[in-house]
Amino acid sequence: MLVLVTGGAGFIGSHIATALAKDGHGVRVLDALLPAAHTVPPDIAPDVDFVRADVRDPAAVEEALRGVDAVCHQAAMVGLGKDFGDAPDYVSCNDLGTAVLLAAMARGTVRRLVLAGSMVVYGEGRYDCARHGTVRPGPRHVADLDAGRFEPRCPHCGEPLDPGYVDEDAPVDPRNVYATTKLAQEHLAAAWARATDGTAVSLRYHNVYGPGMPRDTPYAGVAALFRSALARGESPRVFEDGGQRRDFVHVRDVAAANVAALGSVAAPGVLRAYNVGSGTPHTVGEMATALAARHGGPAPVVTGEYRLGDVRHITASSRRIRDELGWSATIGFAEGMAEFASAPLRGAS
C-alpha cells in the first residue's frame, strides 16, 4: 500500500519511511523541514515521493493524501521545551496539525492511521507503597527538588515508593505542555475513528534513540543532548541524581513497530494504544555512563539540576503490542548504545 509519513524527513519518520520501503510499501513523505528540527537539508531517498509542506496547510495535506492507503503521523514538535512560552507552538504544531490532517482524511477515503503517541501521557509511572498498595504521587514540588529530594513519596504516609511498570489502561496524567498535546492528539484520533469508522493506533513511544538524532537543539531528547555534548568534547550533564528510570528503545525497533501497526486488525471506530519500549528500564545515569564509555569520554557529570515538568520514573509494559501485533524490541541496551556512541547526528558537520 501507499503510506503517507508526516514528518517523514525527521529522526523517527525517516527510519519509518525506510522500514516501510523495505517491507514493500510505497512511501510518500510530507515534511515542512522546520529549522528547529532540520539545521541542514536532510537526505531524501530517491524512491520516496517527497512533499515539502506543513501539516497545518489544508490544501497541501489534501493533495498529499491523494492515492494514499494509510498514514503514519509523526509530524510534531517534540521534547519538553524551554519554558511555558513554547505552549502556542506546541499546540499549533501538534494539535492543530493533527486536526487538519484528520479533517482531510475524513473528507477523503483514507481510513487507517498510525499515530506517534508518547509515554509522557502517563505522567509519573506506576508506584507501589508497602502500606497502601498502588498509589499515584502528586506533582513534584520546587522545595523538594531544590533540596535534592527527587524520589516521590506515598501521598498517604510519606514513605518511599517502589516504581513499577505502567500498562495502557493506566490513568493518564500529562504534566507538561508537550505531554498535554500528545494526549490531545490521541483524543482527536479517537474522535476521527468514531466519526469515520476508521482504524486508529497510537504507539506510545518511550525514550527513542539512535542514528540521525538531531544535534544541539533544546527540544531534543536526553540521549541526543548527551551525544551532542560528547561530540563537542564535553561531559554529558545529568540532571537530578541520575537515578531517573526510563526505557530507552532503538529507533529501528520503533520503525518496525509502525510497520507492525499498519498491519493491525484493530477494530474500526476506536483508538487502540500500545506502549513501545524495550521492556528493560535503565537509569538516565546508566545511559550517560554507557554512552560516554563507548564514545571514549569525557565522563558524565551529575549536576543536581532539574526541570519541573520532568517526571521521576516512567517505564511501561509492552506486553500488549507483543501479544496483539507480534512486535518486540530486538536491539539491546548495550548494543544500541555502542552503535549510538559513534553514529552520525542530524545537523552534524
Q: C-alpha distances in angstroms, 118 versus 20, 204, 275, 284, 290?
A: 21, 4, 8, 18, 24
Q: What integer pLDDT is reported at residue 41 of this predicted model?
A: 59
Q: Which residues contact 257 (CB under 8 A, 6 or more apart)?
A: 203, 274, 276, 321, 325, 327
pLDDT in tens, the chain (349 residues): 999 999 999 999 999 999 999 999 999 999 999 876 665 656 676 678 999 999 999 999 999 999 999 999 999 998 777 788 899 999 999 999 999 999 999 999 999 999 999 999 999 999 999 999 999 898 889 999 999 999 999 999 999 999 999 999 999 999 899 999 999 999 999 999 999 999 999 999 999 999 999 887 766 678 999 999 999 999 999 999 999 999 999 999 999 999 999 998 878 999 999 999 999 999 999 999 999 999 999 999 999 999 887 889 999 899 999 999 999 999 999 999 999 999 988 874 4
pTM: 0.94
Q: Note if 122 is an active site residue.
A: no
Residue 96: how many CB atoms within 10 A of its CB? 15
- Residue in 90, 178, 209, 306 annotated catalytic: 178
Q: What integer pLDDT is reported at residue 83 of this predicted model?
A: 81
